[in-house]
Amino acid sequence: MTNFFIDPDIRKAHTLPSKFYTDPAFFEISKEKIFARTWQFAAGTELSSTLTPVTLLPGVLDEPLLVSRGDGHARCMSNVCTHRGKVLVENACDANLIRCGYHGRRFDLDGKFLSMPEFEGVENFPSADDDLKQVPFAQQSGFCFASLDPAAPFENFIQAHRTLFESAAVSGLERTARREYEVNAHWALYCENYLEGFHIPFVHKSLNEVIDYGTYTTETFRYSSLQTALSEPLAPLLPEQGWPKAGVEGAAGGQKDVLRNSANDVAARYLFIFPNLMFNFYPWGVSVNVVRPVSPSKTIVEFLTYVSDESLLDKGAGADLHGVEMEDEAVVESVQKGIRSRFYSHGRYSPTREQGTHHFHTLIAEFMNPLSH
């Protein structure tokens, strides 16, 4: 198997080779090497029933799970009966136990085996194998995550971002919309595009008008990265036009104070949690994007909208998410065509603008290499 290498020094590094995106073998390997080892989005703030079935990353992991909220705290477990493999709970419901509709096997809300008809005389029964398998589960500000075999605890993935989630949830978040986009491109190409603001002036003219590209920043963490876009400065006004005099010079003068569109200057914060989760924090709430691989050349992107202040929906960087998505899809699908060229194998990184993409590639190489994790 190929060893992928990304030089930790972005000034020396080359991007992932094109075969990572084009070879179906790498696509299949990534399901277990990357997606089964990371934390996936399981449910959002709409989770309310005692028992909620969840399919973890449909089309990739396709693992039937069950989120149980029996005694004030939530847990996650297999949603497959330990007798003959039937899915236990098909639809969200309220109940005080779990009963298989095939042969009557029962479990408590913790997944512990309770009883089974017609099993008298079976030796070494029941055993721990008859309980439902517990799955690592975590919650943050109403959002739920699960992992089949995590490479690291959830804390290592969420790291320094808890305050960001908590601040967004203070006013209450209500899911108002869900939409799916089909993108004719490899899942990693879609993520790479998200991970840099380098393309904004060239691809997103309307977005570029409301954010200050010059102050756009990217921070990287162990399994995540955070991009911050400040609001585009308003044209500074002179004192005689009604704004405070401090720091403002006349028309023939030098530097002027800059007034921005929002009180805290932040137009948006874009949080990426490796390998495929995007949390976009806007003044009106949070947009969650879940990137679901379908094939080496097709991806489904699920958009979930959680709103705290509807009056701000049509303002700023989060005002036209659909339009921005269409522009992103067009350029990513063009890249999908280009990487198949016999004249392209890899590229280089901008040290000032592509730190997030370099970080993403480094993690892919770490997870995909034979001896990693």
Give me Rg for the CA atoms of the chain.
24
Residue 211 belongs to domain spanning = 19-368
Average pLDDT over residues 223-252: 57
pLDDT of residue 257: 43
Domain assignment present for 47 = yes
pLDDT in tens, 281-321: 999 999 999 999 999 999 999 999 999 999 998 888 888 89
50 is written with which tokens? 């005692």
- 355-368 and 24-33 are packed helices; what angle lies between their axes, rounded to 10 degrees? 80
Strand, coil or helix: what is 305?
strand
**C-alpha span between 91 and 153 (Å, rounded):** 29
Tokens matching residue 9: 């020094």
Alpha helices (runs of H) in 60-100, residue ranges in sequence order: none
CB neighbours of 298 closer than 8 A, spacing ≥ 6?
Answer: 182, 183, 184, 185
**CA separation, residue 139 to residues 45, 67, 154, 168, 203 (Å):** 10, 11, 9, 15, 35
With respect to residue 36, please indicate whether it lies within any of the assigned structural domains. Answer: yes
Q: What CATH number is attached to the domain comprising 291? A: 2.102.10.10
Residue 41 has pLDDT above 90, yes or no: yes
1 falls in which pLDDT band (50, 70, 90)? low
| 13: in domain | no
**Is residue 83 domain-resident?**
yes
Rounded to an integer, the average pLDDT of 268-276 is: 97
Q: Count how many domains the chain has.
A: 1
Cα–Cα distance measured from residue 41 to residue 288, given in angstroms and rounded to the nearest whole number: 9
* pLDDT at 256 > cutoff 50: no
Instruction: Say if 262 falls within a structural domain.
Output: yes
| Residue 340 lies inside a defined structural domain of this protein | yes
With a pLDDT cut of 70, the percent of the chain lying above it is 90
Give the model's pLDDT for residue 70.
Answer: 75
pLDDT of 250 strictly over 50: no
d(CA 299, CA 292): 6
Q: What is the pLDDT of residue 260?
A: 45
Task: Give backbone dihedrals phi and psi of 130, rounded to 5 degrees, phi first.
Answer: -85, -10
pLDDT at 318 (0 to 100):
86
Q: Which segment, 43-47, 127-131, 212-216, is predicted with the most confidence on average?
A: 127-131
Instruction: Report the amino acid identity of residue 32.
Output: E
Span 102-106, average pLDDT: 98
147-201 confidence digits (pLDDT tens): 999 999 999 999 889 999 999 998 889 999 999 999 999 999 999 999 999 999 9
pLDDT greater than 70 at residue 235: no
Tokens of 131: 């309980």
User: What predicted TM-score, i.e. pTM, was given to this entire model?
Assistant: 0.89
In this predicted structure, what is the pLDDT of residue 248?
31
Distance, in Å, from the CA atom of 306 to the CA atom of 13, rounded to the nearest integer, reads 38
Residue 372, pLDDT score: 58
Predicted confidence at residue 251, as pLDDT, reads 34
Neighbour-count burial for 240-256, b at 16+ CB within 10 Å, e otherwise: eeebeeeebeeeeeeeb
Residue 119 Cα distances to 83, 115, 141, angstroms: 11, 9, 43
Sign of the CA dihedral 111, 114, 120, 122?
positive
> How buried is residue 312: exposed, middle or buried, by Cβ count under 10 Å (0-12/13-18/19+)?
middle
- For every residue of 239-283, which 3-state class applies, written as one string? HHHCCCCCCCCCCCCCCCCCECCCCCCEEEEEEEECCCEEEEEEC
List pLDDT tens digits, range 328-373. 999 999 999 999 999 999 999 999 999 999 999 999 999 999 765 5
Say which residue the tokens 């089909």 belong to. Answer: 182
In this prediction, residue 232 has a pLDDT band, given cuts at 50, 70 and 90, of confident
Q: Taking 60 as the threshold, does the pLDDT of residue 5 lie above it?
A: yes
In a domain, 10, yes or no: no
Relative to beta strand 217-220, strand 63-68 is: unpaired
Exposure string of 207-228, with b = 16+ CB inside 10 Å and e = fewer, is bbebbbeeebebebbebbbbbb
Q: Does the CA dihedral 111-143-86-102 come out positive or negative?
A: positive
- Does residue 93 register a pLDDT over 90? yes
Query: What span, in angstroms and rounded, lies between the C-alpha atoms of 161 and 365?
Result: 24
9, part of any domain: no
